[in-house]
Chains A and B, each alone.
Chain A
Amino acid sequence: MNSLVKNIIRFALFILVQVFVLDKIHLHQMVTPYVYFLFLIWLPFRMGRIQQLLIALVLGLTLDSFRHHPGFHTAACVLLAYIRPFLINLLIPQEGADNNYEEPSFKSMGGVLPYMIFIGVLTFIHHGWLFLLEAWQFGNIWYFLVKTLLSTALSLLLIIITELLFVRQQKFRTNTV
């Protein structure tokens, strides 16, 4: 399937699942999982950084428009999209490996551990920034920390389940002609 069409379908599905399924969950009135930003994590390697930032802006604004207080998710998504390329450069196994595959996955990142670090760090940053902005007025540091850690754990669990359920077929492309 065309990469653009695929990504548009993904975008819509992630937003709908987040708004109508995951937002209804709040364990102990505190922990809500977020998975929609997996859309940003799955963006192709070769996409320009400015494009990534703008796509993050659109994704965040779309989710925010369902919550009637715009800004929180936009800020978190933009931060995630900004940090993502640096992490890829750090974690990718060898020079040019990001040319061999389309987008980040267990396979293309060279094993389970690098990919887990990749999604773990990004999830934590996203949640931390989101809850920090939300907690600005409430100002209870322990509540904020516990909420961030527990939500990160739950989101990561759901992300791993998503990865296992929807295995993305990725072709190995050589850059040697």
Chain B
Amino acid sequence: MRNIFLFIRRYITLILFLVLQGFSIYLIVHYSNFHKAVFSNTANQLTGKVNKQFNRVEYYFRLKKTNDSLVTANEKLYNKLKSNFELPDTTVNIRIDSLRTDSLEAYRKYSYYPAKVVYNSVAAQNNFIVLGRGASQNMKEGMGIIDANSGVVGIVTEVSADFSVVMSLLHKDSHISGKLLKGGETGTLSWNGKTPNIISLTGIPKNVKVAVGDTIISSGFSTSIPKGMMIGIVQEVKADKSSGNFIIHFRSAADFYNLEHVFAIDNRQTESIKTILEKARTKNQ
């Protein structure tokens, strides 16, 4: 017994060092579980506040680019206005709707909330974005995030009271499904950790015709992001030697270097889809 104590006393630094290294590697590997338990509430709230202060300064220098992107977003919306379209004159009878409330509201599937980016990184191998909007402002885990010009940015992974953390497409664990606009084939997005704004799409079979310049949109298979949101434009098509699939490198529609205003998408059907999936799973077991 005495020898054990002597041994511990002698090598205490080495033991402490190994324990701390083990602890950090445990953090890296089991990141999601631990993170949610300890980090997301206290640390996010704290670092979020610091980030917000800093962003106030930084935001000023990016006003020009932010303005430009909002103008293009506005332009798109103007073009969608009903007053821009004139239907052929077959059923001209004007009716005044007597309903005061919007009768469509009950059937709404998606709603959009604006959010301000307070922290953004592109340099790391796993990149996150922090938004200055949290659970007390209707943010939930699993919400999809798009930029002002409806380019997919990522998915909300953690929410604290006033801030939320988004796993951007530039993250190795981010596996959103993407779809070729032309053919409709679906694949999975992944990022190799090197060049920001260049992401790859895998799982597209080689018999599909893909050309440089093709558009990739979101598939709508997940509850987070609606179908048809712009993801990127194909830049390079490579054949994967080990499988019968293509590896498609594309330039993301969202510019991750200059994110200021984004929109969070709330899917009102998420809960009901989840419960029905749970039901199906428990039945099959």
Contacts and interface: CB of A to CB of B under 8 A. Distances in A.
Contacts, number: 99
B123 A26 contact: yes
A72 B28 CA distance: 7
Contact of A70 (B35, B125, B130): B35
Contacts of B124: 67, 69, 134
Interface in A36-95: 49-50, 53, 56-57, 60, 64-72, 74-75, 78-79, 82
Contact of B125 (A68, A78, A138): A138
A68 B164 CA distance: 11
B112 interface: no
B125 A74 contact: no
A145 B192 CA distance: 16
A69 B123 contact: no
Nearest to B14: A82
Could you say which interface size class chain B belongs to? 35 or more
A133 interface: yes
A112 interface: no
A176 interface: no
B28 A23 contact: no
Interface string A26-37: 100110100000
Interface residues of A, number: 36
Given A29-B194, A69-B126, A70-B35, A75 B28 contact: yes
B95 to A, nearest CB: 53
B122 interface: yes
Contact of A50 (B12, B35, B50, B121): B12
A60 B194 contact: no
A82 B13 contact: yes
B136 interface: no
Query: Which of A26, A68, A78 has the most chain B CB atoms inside 10 A of its CB?
Result: A68
A69 B28 contact: yes
A174 interface: no
Contacts of A78: 17, 20-21, 24
A138 B51 CA distance: 29
B128 interface: yes
A29 B20 CA distance: 31
B226 interface: no
A50 B24 CA distance: 17
Given A65-B39, A69-B128, A23 B121 contact: yes
A137 B193 CA distance: 10
A137 B122 CA distance: 18
Contact of A71 (B25, B43, B125, B128): B25
Nearest to A49: B13
A158 interface: no
Contact of B193 (A25, A66, A79, A138): A138
Interface centre among A26, A70, A79 (most CB of B within 10 A): A70
Interface in B100-126: 119, 121-126
Interface of A: 16, 19-20, 23-26, 29-30, 32, 49-50, 53, 56-57, 60, 64-72, 74-75, 78-79, 82, 133-135, 137-138, 143
Given A68-B128, A82-B13, 6 more contacts: A53-B16, A65-B39, A68-B158, A74-B24, A75-B25, A134-B193
7 contacts: A19-B50, A26-B123, A29-B123, A65-B46, A68-B35, A70-B35, A74-B27
Interface of B: 12-13, 16-17, 20-21, 23-29, 31, 34-35, 39, 43-44, 46-47, 50-51, 54, 119, 121-126, 128, 130, 158, 165, 172, 192-196
